[in-house]
Amino acid sequence: MDPGIWQIERIDHQLDHGTESDGRIAFCKRLLNDRFKRAFDRSSFHISLIHPIGKRDRIELERFMADHPQVMSEFIRYHKRCDLLFNAKFHVGDAADRESFKQRVTARLGDVSHGLHRSDLETLLREEHERSSRTTVRNITVQFVSPDQLLREGRPVYTEYHFLDH
């Protein structure tokens, strides 16, 4: 996480399928860098990397906001695409198994452009996960993309996926 003053837009709970890694992810928009200069950006971070601003920084922020109302207006309008990723990791034996795995997953998922929630994806992939866990080699990931954190019913919707070979 780059230092500076960030605005938290929302916090989501994430759990990577097939791993013990879990935590809360904050989606943030940066106003200022650590030298109190305009530095707009948008990104996501594990919640453990975020800390409240101190008293001195709060005073500097309030002063900046009062002295630069046009920058504050620009900040409110600022938007940069920030995709949400869900990585489903699998154990697959060798190159031939990886190709077979990709074909099975593609057939099972079909076209996801209409959007699926994470729970839908996990249901579709559960059988493949059980099948693939017979080997200890974790060497392929199905990465699902929620473009610009697309939400439906208040939950992320994934409309794309890619295979990442390790």
Note the pLDDT tens digit of each residue in 108-139. 999 999 999 988 998 888 888 777 666 666 68
- Three-class SS string for the chain? CCCCEEEEEEEEEEECCCCCCEEEEEEEEEEECCCCCEEEEEEEEEHHHCCCCCHHHHHHHHHHHHHCHHHHHHHHHCCCCCCEEEEEEEECCCHHHHHHHHHHHHHHHCCCCCCEEHHHHHHHHHHHHHHHCCCCCEEEEEEEEEHHHCEECCEEEECEEEEEEC
Shared-domain flag, residues 58 and 90: no
Instruction: Give me the pLDDT at residue 17, please.
Output: 45
Q: Which of 77, 100, 129 is the last residue of a domain?
A: 77
Q: Which of 54, 77, 100 is the last residue of a domain?
A: 77
Is residue 166 predicted with pLDDT exceeding 80? no
Shared-domain flag, residues 73 and 103: no
Instruction: Give me the pLDDT at residue 20, please.
Output: 46
Shared-domain flag, residues 90 and 151: yes
Shared-domain flag, residues 66 and 88: no
Shared-domain flag, residues 44 and 115: no
Shared-domain flag, residues 154 and 97: yes
Shared-domain flag, residues 89 and 161: yes
Q: Please state, in angstroms and rounded to a whole number, the distance separating the CA atoms of residues 28 and 51.
A: 12
Shared-domain flag, residues 93 and 113: yes
Shared-domain flag, residues 88 and 161: yes
Shared-domain flag, residues 72 and 88: no
Residue-wise pLDDT tens digits, 35-68: 999 999 999 888 888 999 999 999 999 999 999 9
Instruction: Give me the pLDDT at residue 142, please.
Output: 94
Shared-domain flag, residues 97 and 55: no
* Structural domain total, the chain: 2
What is the extent of the structural domain holding 136? 84-165
Shared-domain flag, residues 71 and 132: no
